[in-house]
């Protein structure tokens, strides 16, 4: 089970990504927003980030640029939210950063790139090794 959320700036792209996830047979829970009405991205980022941290799963967050979502999600302990723009950043967000949430922008990212990034993000594994040492240093900053 993965968790997905957006604000109004990412709503349209979120709906397209949901269709893609269904086609791929990926189970997900949509934590909002549920319309194009203006809302505050930190509320959605917090909901998705809490669920991901509690269930040790993965999440997808979309706002206008992905920036606000990534800043907010990274305030939750245990969250490594990566703002991605292409296949390469999505791949290395998993391989080197063990990112558990991917963020991108509904106003900056085309649907085909977004689908490609989601597929890569859900498929790739953390490489561990020297990268684990670095992730552990980040966790230490959180007091884990």
Binding region for ligand RB5 (CB under 6 A): 7, 9, 41, 63-65, 67-68
Q: Among residues 52 and 73, whose Cβ is nearest to ligand RB5?
A: 73
Say how far apart CA 85 and CA 62 lie, in whole Å.
Answer: 12
* Least CB distance to ligand RB5 at residue 24 (A): 26
Q: Where are the alpha helices (DSSP H) in the chain?
A: 11-24, 41-55, 67-73, 87-95, 111-123, 130-141
Q: Among residues 5 and 9, whose Cβ is nearest to ligand RB5?
A: 9
Say how far apart CA 45 and CA 69 lie, in whole Å.
Answer: 6
Question: Would you call 84 a catalytic residue per the annotation?
Answer: no
Question: Would you call 85 a catalytic residue per the annotation?
Answer: no
Catalytic, out of 8, 85, 96, 131 = 96
């Amino acid at each position: 089970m993965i968790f997905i959320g957006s604000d109004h700036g990412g709503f349209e792209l979120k709906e397209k990504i949901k269709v893609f996830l269904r086609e791929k047979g990926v189970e997900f829970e949509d934590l909002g927003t549920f319309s194009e009405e203006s809302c505050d991205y930190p509320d959605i980022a917090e909901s998705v980030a809490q669920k991901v941290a509690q269930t040790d799963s993965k999440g997808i967050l979309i706002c206008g640029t992905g920036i606000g979502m990534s800043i907010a999600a990274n305030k939750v302990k245990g969250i490594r939210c990566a703002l991605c723009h292409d296949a390469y950043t999505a791949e290395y967000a998993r391989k080197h950063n063990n990112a558990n949430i991917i963020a991108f922008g509904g106003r900056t990212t085309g649907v085909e790139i977004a689908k490609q990034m989601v597929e890569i993000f859900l498929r790739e594994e953390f490489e561990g090794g020297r990268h684990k040492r670095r992730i552990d240093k980040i966790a230490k900053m959180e007091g884990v």
